[in-house]
Chain A
Amino acid sequence: MTAGTTSPPRTAPAPARAPRRSGEGLAAVGFIAPALLGFAVFYFWPTLRGLWFSLTEYDFFSRPRFVGLDNYARMASDETFWNAMKVTVQYVAINIVVQTVLAVLIAVLLQRVTRSVFVRSVVVLPFLISNVVVALLFYWMLDAQIGIVNAAITGLGLDAIPFFGEQDWVVPTIALVNVWRHMGYTALLVFAGLMTIPEGLYEAGRVDGASEWRMFWSITLPLLRPVLALVLVITVTGSFQVFDTVAVTTSGGPGDASRVIQYYIFDLAFQRLEFGYAAAVSVVLFAILAVVAFVQLRLTRANESDLA
């Protein structure tokens, strides 16, 4: 908060001795020292350590034992791992496709129909609520016996759907629950992109007698492409890491039907105490995310750097 404006820099070490303009380098060290410390201890060092652990067998209690690439070899024939991959990819596909389509729809409506802050606030509301709350809420609403959604379905004369209880339903269900939570947020990201499209283009289109539909395909979508690609990087890498919803609702079940990759890592490390193997699986997840991000950024030709 703004508390920082009045209190002295508590932890900033010695260089805070206000050197005049020439000593900026020294001052800079003081200014970034805390952040650099945090970076080194909680990002950099654990990254190296994680890589090392992935080459060991480690059960938390005895010392890690170096086993080379054994963990990676084991993964190749680990059916649970491949199943977790499959489930995660399914989840990501459903989540991303539905979420992106809905987000673009909402964003366009926000831009073309109303720009009311109130409407924008409503659609983003689910995003502010924690995954755990959202998971519990939908677990209740989708309950097979007394959930409101099934009450409505049976009210229509159809059979109740065991959303979380059946292999075929559980992944789409979890994916759609998270679509509900995230679509408004994603819509706002897209909306910000839409606001950068000059209104003049639409004026011109209108003069030419183009329909809203036509303008969407010929103006909005092409100009939105870079923003959309960027939003996709964020949402895809985010949804690969689905955990909370699974942990609260199904714990990976029924069977392994919703054991997504991150839940599997958690499972390996903390239930089966196979820490080295868990680290190896997380290295693979890391690699996948890096490739996804790289490919997507490449596609957008985002070659301008953020560096000043």
Chain B
Amino acid sequence: MSVQTPVEPAAAGPTRATAAPVQKAPKDRRAGIGRVVAWATLVLIMLVTLFPFYWMLRTALSNGTQLATDPSSPLPVGFTFGAFERVLGLSTTAEAQAQGGSGAAIDFWLYLLNSLLVATLITAGQVFFGAMAAYAFARLRWPGRDLVFFVFLTALMVPPIFTQLPNFLLMRDLGLLNTYAAIVLPFFFMTPFAVFFLRQFFLGIPREVEEAAVLDGAGTVRRFFRVIAPMASGPLITLAILQYIQAWNEYFWPLLVASDRSVRVLTVGLGVFRSQTPQGTPDWAGLMAATLLAALPIVVLFAVFSRRIVDSIGFSGIK
């Protein structure tokens, strides 16, 4: 659509970086009150954004049984790493219970491993097959191409819940319930978004690049793997990060098809952990330690790739 061009090649980090600074710091005009208010608002927004993260950490470092004695203390109450030890299964049942834990094993490591496995498989499949399909849609000529692409795009409109109910039955009929395959398969071969995202980038690569390879007698497969895919490594990585985050955070689908302990992913595990103490006070310190640990891989990913992620979000919305 109209806004496409300027944001075009996915995550055009460098391009934009060179364009932006020119108009940066617009000559401090009327530095007065307006600017102060604007900055104050921005700082306030950042505080509202960050405070819950701090509170999560503060609670996780508290002693569960003492937490209620000083609910508004800005620092951890009865500072201890006990909650983390509890979650990671490093403390004995007696120790855990003394600090307000249920004593029940959380199997954090198992869930973590499951989440890693599932998110990695989903991402790898999606990016690989998505890239292949995007290549066919962007750079190969074949009859019916635009029609097929349009049909693909309409899948973007179907609300997941609508396909998830029948997909659940499909998994049941295939005998795949409570297997990794059930969690992974529906996302493995394609998501409309992945195809769309990469096609957009492939379209931008000039024809001549491939012409040379054609003259050397390279077929489509060779051209795709040797020429196009390497040129697109930036967008491929961007897409991989975005899809990894999404796969990692998915809750509904794994809850439906794989709630069994052995294949339970972290999001589902946290939900179970929360409901383990329906009456009485939940083990808040333990719960916050677990949520913090569950969020950690994504936060680390973000710390490494923040610029790429931040830039690609602008692209992903403007379709």
Contact = CB atoms under 8 A, between A and B. Distances in A.
Contacts of A227: 3, 318
Interface stretch (A37-45, A85-93, A166-174): A37-45
A226 B149 contact: no
Contacts of B95: none
Interface string A228-265: 00110010010011011001100000000000001001
Interface residues of A, number: 122
B137 A180 contact: no
Given A43-B158, A282-B159, A136 B299 contact: no
A31 B140 contact: yes
Interface residues of B, number: 126
A230 B190 contact: no
A192 B319 CA distance: 12
Nearest to A121: B306
Interface stretch (A67-75, A76-84, A182-190): A182-190
B201 interface: no
A225 B166 CA distance: 38
Interface in B227-261: 229-230, 233, 236-237, 240, 245, 248-252, 255-256
A101 B133 CA distance: 38
B49 A126 contact: yes
A237 B287 CA distance: 31
Nearest to B67: A146
A97 interface: no
Contact of B7 (A2, A16, A32, A196): A196
A307 B196 CA distance: 11
A78 to B, nearest CB: 18
Contacts of A140: 55, 59, 284, 287-288
A208 interface: no
A29 to B, nearest CB: 8
B270 A132 contact: yes
B146 A307 contact: yes
Given A39-B152, A146-B67, A34 B190 contact: yes
B200 to A, nearest CB: 9
A136 B274 contact: yes
Contacts of A234: 317
A301 to B, nearest CB: 10
A12 B39 CA distance: 54
Given A130-B295, A133-B295, A227-B3, A121 B127 contact: no
A141 B71 CA distance: 10
A308 B146 contact: yes
Nearest to B127: A1
A275 B271 contact: no
B123 interface: yes
Interface in B129-165: 129-133, 135-138, 140-143, 145-146, 148-153, 155, 157-165
A17 B159 CA distance: 38
Interface in B195-227: 195-196, 203, 214, 217-222, 224-225
A20 B219 contact: yes
A218 interface: no
Contact of A19 (B168, B220, B224, B225): B220
Contacts of B219: 17-20, 27
B98 interface: no
Contacts of B230: 5
B313 interface: yes
B68 A146 contact: yes
A290 interface: yes
Contact of A129 (B131, B150, B221, B249): B249
B183 to A, nearest CB: 12
A279 interface: yes
B294 A133 contact: yes
A34 B274 contact: no
Interface string A175-206: 00000100011001101110110010000001
Given A286-B158, A307-B149, A122 B233 contact: no
Interface stretch (B40-48, B83-91, B100-108): B40-48
A38 B288 contact: no
Given A35-B189, A128-B295, 9 more contacts: A24-B220, A27-B221, A28-B136, A38-B190, A39-B152, A106-B42, A122-B46, A227-B3, A247-B271
Q: Would you list the 5 A-B pairs with minimal beta carbon distance, nearest first?
A: A38-B189, A18-B219, A192-B314, A130-B249, A189-B317
22 contacts: A4-B128, A5-B233, A9-B221, A12-B132, A18-B221, A34-B132, A123-B46, A128-B302, A130-B267, A133-B294, A139-B274, A140-B59, A140-B284, A155-B72, A180-B49, A184-B49, A189-B318, A196-B3, A212-B34, A285-B159, A289-B157, A307-B146
